[in-house]
């Protein structure tokens, strides 16, 4: 190995000397700062020293020559070698099966002891986003309700499971009437769930409020872009819109529009972890006294985070849940887990960015179909939503 030292005022110059003398294949062993100069200290100067080496290049004795390669090919093509290769393939295939079984056991290590059919349902529910405890409770309830022969009846078990899931999805559509005054809606939720887009869909969809006299109010005082976005939308839709920057101003704005059919309040997204910002949001909601506080949650958000949002937003007294971004999730079962723990009804669902098209009324039967068919989620997202929208909103 050729080892050399190079000294220069700067590291760049030293490395250039390495490349020039040893080439691009040189290996840097060490860099350090050294002092060079005369006997007096003030005459010395600091330089960079690079120690580099060029590895010896020897022809590898492992490289097979042409004769060796030909001999290996002849041996591999012999009947004995082919039989050995066949046995090896079978062993590898068997080994893959064992690995797959072990993977399933690790993935579902907490799977309860159940008959095979119910165990499969449990796995399907977990796969589609339902939490393990909720899936276990339903599977064990079925196991207690039916005997061995009935558990082999696939149609019976599927029908009963569908009924059980449907019963856990409470649906409620906010009424339109408020005794002759404007019905007030406030959309709340964490950042990025699509509250403003959901509001725009609601007030322009003929299925919901598109034929009504509505007013938009923005209480999102932290994002100028959000207010401008709502102003632009209101101008296009021909709807009155006002921005409220302090809770004290909210009452006057609501009174000015009390003769309208509905007033929709767009609020700032607030992290469930930011207590101070949640206090500010609560002040706006307290003054507004809305008839409906709709908590917006994105289906694509992890279950633990959604449950934390639900816990922290309880202080705003939500009356219903809006699930957004249904089209972006491969695990719609998370909705069942949230609803079973929230004790709140589902009101609306959004499944895309189009305004006003991509908002639909909650339908337990259609949601159940999504939840119990994890293998068909992609197909249902392509075809099911469009059919749902067409039936719900018209074209």
Identify the pLDDT of residue 41: 45
Task: Tell me the pLDDT tens digit for each residue of 107-162.
Answer: 455 555 677 778 888 888 887 888 888 888 888 888 888 887 888 888 888 888 88
| Residue 348: pLDDT over 80 | yes
* 360: pLDDT strictly greater than 70: yes
Q: What confidence tens digit (pLDDT) does each residue in 244-277 have?
A: 888 888 999 899 988 888 899 988 777 766 677 7
Q: Give the pLDDT confidence score for residue 58 in this predicted structure.
A: 55
Between these two residues, 59 and 257, which has the higher pLDDT value? 257
Task: Give the separation between CA 95 and CA 106, rounded to whole angstroms.
Answer: 17
The pLDDT of residue 65 is above 70: no
**Greater pLDDT, 237 or 292:** 292
Contact predicate 366/384, CB 8 Å? yes
The mean per-residue pLDDT over the stretch 36-44 comes to: 53
What pLDDT score was predicted for residue 322? Answer: 92
The answer, yes or no, to whether residue 88 has pLDDT greater than 90, is no
pLDDT at residue 39, rounded to an integer: 47
Q: Is the pLDDT of residue 202 over 60?
A: yes
Return the pLDDT at 301: 87
210-235 residue pLDDT tens: 778 888 988 876 666 667 778 888 88
- d(CA 36, CA 48) in angstroms, rounded, equals 10
pLDDT in tens, 268-306: 777 766 677 788 888 889 998 999 999 999 988 888 898
Better-predicted residue by pLDDT, 48 or 100: 48
User: Which tops the pLDDT comparison, 199 or 395?
Assistant: 199
- Predicted confidence at residue 129, as pLDDT, reads 81
Which residue is associated with the tokens 């249902």?
380
Tell me the pLDDT band of 164, cut-offs 50, 70 and 90: confident
Q: What is the mean pLDDT of residues 83-110?
A: 64
Whole-model pTM: value is 0.65
CATH for 183-393? Answer: 3.40.50.300
Across 33-47, 187-201, 231-245, least confident range:
33-47
Q: Lowest mean pLDDT of 152-166, 312-326, 376-390, name the range.
A: 376-390
**pLDDT of the residue at 42:** 46
- Note the pLDDT of residue 320: 92
Sorted by where each begins, the domain ranges of the chain are 2-54, 110-168, 183-393
Q: pLDDT value at position 24?
A: 80
The chain-wide mean pLDDT, for the chain, equals: 78
Residue 395 predicted with pLDDT over 50:
no
Mean per-residue pLDDT, 15-20: 87
């Amino acid at each position: 190995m050729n080892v050399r030292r190079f000294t220069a005022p700067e590291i760049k110059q030293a490395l250039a000397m390495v490349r020039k003398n040893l080439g691009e294949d040189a290996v840097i062993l060490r860099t350090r700062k050294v002092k060079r100069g005369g006997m007096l200290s003030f005459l010395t100067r600091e330089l960079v020293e690079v120690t580099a080496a060029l590895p010896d290049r020897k022809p590898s004795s492992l490289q097979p020559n042409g004769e060796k390669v030909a001999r290996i090919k002849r041996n591999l093509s012999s009947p004995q070698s082919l039989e050995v290769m066949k046995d090896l393939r079978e062993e590898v295939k068997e080994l893959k099966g064992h690995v797959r079984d072990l993977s399933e056991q690790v993935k579902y290590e907490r799977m309860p002891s159940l008959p095979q059919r119910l165990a499969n349902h449990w796995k399907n529910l977990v796969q589609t986003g339902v939490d393990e405890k909720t899936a276990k409770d339903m599977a064990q309830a079925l196991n207690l309700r039916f005997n061995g022969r009935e558990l082999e009846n696939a149609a019976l078990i599927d029908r009963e499971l569908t009924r059980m899931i449907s019963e856990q999805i409470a649906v409620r559509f906010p009424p339109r009437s408020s005794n002759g005054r404007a019905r007030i809606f406030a959309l709340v939720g964490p950042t990025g769930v699509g509250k403003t887009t959901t509001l725009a869909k609601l007030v322009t969809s003929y299925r919901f409020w598109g034929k009504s006299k509505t007013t938009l109010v923005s209480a999102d005082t932290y994002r100028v872009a959000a207010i401008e976005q709502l102003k632009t939308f209101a101008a296009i839709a021909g709807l009155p819109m006002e921005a409220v920057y302090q809770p004290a101003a909210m009452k006057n704005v609501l009174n000015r529009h009390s003769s309208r059919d509905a007033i929709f309040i767009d609020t700032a997204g607030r992290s469930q972890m930011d207590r101070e910002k949640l206090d500010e949001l609560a002040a706006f909601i307290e003054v507004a006294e809305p008839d409906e506080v709709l908590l917006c949650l994105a289906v694509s958000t992890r279950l633990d985070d959604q449950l934390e949002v639900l816990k922290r937003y309880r202080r705003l007294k939500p009356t219903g849940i809006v699930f957004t971004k249904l089209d972006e999730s491969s695990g719609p079962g998370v909705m069942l887990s949230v609803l079973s723990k929230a004790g709140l009804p589902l009101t609306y669902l959004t499944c895309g960015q189009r305004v006003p098209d991509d908002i639909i009324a909650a339908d337990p039967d259609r949601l159940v179909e999504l939840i119990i068919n994890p293998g068909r989620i992609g197909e249902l997202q392509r075809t099911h939503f469009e059919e749902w929208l067409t039936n719900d909103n018209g074209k």
